[in-house]
Structure 1
Amino acid sequence: MPGKREYAVGRAYEFVLMKILRDRGFYVVRTPASGRGTSSQKLPDLTAIRRRDGGSEVLLIEVKHFSRPRDVYLEKERFKQLMEFAERLGARALLCVHFSPSTRIKCLDLKDYDWETPGYYVFDKRSFEERGVDAASL
């Protein structure tokens, strides 16, 4: 589990992403301590909803921050919880990452991982640059 400083920096990028999404017309809810073992029901870091084309668009977002570009490991249990939640809601599950020193937050669909290990789904750091969508374009 990350230390207090890492948690605070990660939380700050959740708020940055919330502002970006709100500016794009989404209603955004942050789930405090979503990944810190506070509940048996693990919720996404952010849930974003907006009206679109006569319906609703729902995004379930896991947010990560790293001090340098690196591969991103997402626990299989967390992946499963988010994908099941997305399926029940008809939502899109995203992994949005900020790598310092960049100012951009890039997002990939959760199902677009690059490989897996026994306990993790892994997203190659290059995938965010090559296939990732800038959060400001969501």
Structure 2
Amino acid sequence: MAQRVTSAAVEVAGEVVGAIDRPGLLILVGATHDDTAATAAGLADKLWNLRILHDERSAAQEGAPILVVSQFTLYADVRKGRRPSWSAAAPREISEPLVEAFVAALRGLGAEVATGRFGAAMAVSSVNDGPVTIIVDTDR
């Protein structure tokens, strides 16, 4: 999920571990069992070049910063009952390297990337711009 923001930050135990202080993107990223490094690289390219900033420009065109936060809860399945199932989310040993590959791919494209801390209890704050929020699913 990508949000157009004017600023965003992520804290762990009261310490800011990642932040952007000018217009850019906050990207919440989750991984599922069949995702690969190629999936992560393709997603990075898609989001870096997605024209969702002002005047239909991309982060690549604007040199806009990106804050990436890992979020397994994006794969919550709430179709049955009242308790979400997390079975579609990849376990840490699969998802952590994929999130790292996604960040590395963004940086390889020239993006300025800040991150949260994988697996930590994070407090994410953002000032949405628009608001514009786009769900990007690699299966679609």
Class of the TM-score when normalised by the shorter of the 2 chains: 0.3 to 0.5
TM-score of the two chains, using structure 1 as the length reference: 0.34
Higher RCO (CA < 8 A, seq sep 6+): 2
Structure with bigger helix share is 1
TM-score of the two chains, using structure 2 as the length reference: 0.34
